[in-house]
Structure 1
């Protein structure tokens, strides 16, 4: 990618880069719901993100409400909606529109780019308006660290690449209807018995621990 100034242009270029990496990608967007704002969008996401925000339904809304990755269909296209940073207006959701059901390689590419897009959005769109406080930024980083720790545990227990470990977490999250961050935190606690900065975090619900124990048991058979 060419050099660009840090700002809205960077977010757009990151989404353009994601679309270029994914064969059959028709667009990508970044939105906040229920705040009701489409922050950035390229391709068909300009129209389809706004339609979901206005209609208050669809994968974008589900991902924001449940704070977990959601797949579905909008406008005849397959959609992957991934919630990222958490601000007062709700999670920032990255939507990716494909002309085919998402494949493992698609999810891997989204996993690599999404943290960059979400972090850039948090700094550019939120911090500038003082909507995202410093403590919220710290929690966002903590959530991501727990997800990475959980992936590392799965990769060690069941030798596999990062994308496969992430897919295991996502499937467990979707099957139990539990937030990805909660599954990840619970898995770290189940596997290691401790959680860094636990005193500053809200503990996951019991269903997250039950799901994490089943997942940890399955990969250690």
Structure 2
């Protein structure tokens, strides 16, 4: 299939541009949760993004769990966190650190640049610098669909909001040290018996099935 290359320099330039455009901006970060990867950082974002990932709390984590924009304070600074494109490890979250509460002009600038940053990051970073093939992009979309399907199953078995269902998947995957996407795929198989459009995809390992089985059974006790 046709191959597509993107330069990582584009992401850095976009993030630096956003930081310079906003008065009182002390940092811009790009991270993935629950995968825990810091993809790019400008200024204080390197330290404060990592603190949120390790502490499992903060606007970055909230934005990833609930798939919506989140705001709050970290390290005495105001933070705006915006989830964007998905990769294998979770949503790409753009974080912006300000020395003041975000104003309308701040949010407008973030909304303009975030889609460009997130899309470029999904293409570049989740392929570890390799050339991204069209079929790899398709698999990324399929993984996202299975995660959403697994969240729906959990929400049906244990009435809860999407963020809590996502947290259940995250905890299960981290406890078993298995990829989130594998636990999600295995859960769909355990609950439904089959996966749609999975002919060209690798099936999850046994540990993912065992983890999904325990999780599913625990919800039906």
TM-score (ref. length: structure 1): 0.57
Count, aligned residues: 153
> Equivalent residue of 1:78, what SS?
helix
In the TM superposition, what is the alpha-carbon distance from 1:200 to its structure 2 partner? 1.0
In 2, distance between residues paired with 1:168 and 1:132?
31
Deviation readout 1:2-47 (Å, 9 max, x if unpaired): xxxxx6489639x98xxxxxxxx9752359xxxxxx863233245x
In the TM superposition, what is the alpha-carbon distance from 1:136 to its structure 2 partner? 0.7
In 1, distance between residues paired with 2:58 and 2:31?
22
Q: Unpaired segments of 5 or more residues in structure 2? A: 1-9, 20-25, 33-37, 68-82, 87-91, 93-117
The aligned counterpart of 2:131 is 131
Deviation readout 1:177-202 (Å, 9 max, x if unpaired): 11100000000000000101121110
Structure number with bigger Rg: 2
In 1, distance between residues paired with 2:181 and 2:218?
20
Q: Unpaired segments of 5 or more residues in structure 1? A: 1-6, 17-24, 32-37, 49-72, 82-100
> Equivalent residue of 1:199, what SS?
coil
Task: Assess if the C-alpha contact under 8 Å between 1:155 and 1:162 holds in 2.
Answer: yes
In 2, distance between residues paired with 1:174 and 1:123?
25
In 1, distance between residues paired with 2:13 and 2:159?
35
TM-score (ref. length: structure 2): 0.57
Q: CA RMSD in A?
A: 3.6
The aligned counterpart of 1:78 is 51
Could you tell me which of 46, 56, 74 is aligned with 1:102? 56
In 1, distance between residues paired with 2:207 and 2:158?
23
Distance 1:105 1:152, change over 3 A: farther
The aligned counterpart of 2:23 is none
The aligned counterpart of 2:30 is 29
In 1, distance between residues paired with 2:208 and 2:197?
18
In 2, distance between residues paired with 1:193 and 1:201?
16
In the TM superposition, what is the alpha-carbon distance from 1:156 to its structure 2 partner? 0.8
Are 2:182 and 1:178 aligned? no
The aligned counterpart of 1:191 is 191
Residues 1-221 of structure 1 mapped to structure 2, 5 A cutoff? 8=11, 12=15, 28-30=29-31, 40-46=40-46, 78-80=51-53, 101-103=55-57, 106-111=60-65, 112=67, 113-115=83-85, 117=92, 118-123=118-123, 131-221=131-221
In 2, distance between residues paired with 1:214 and 1:104?
29
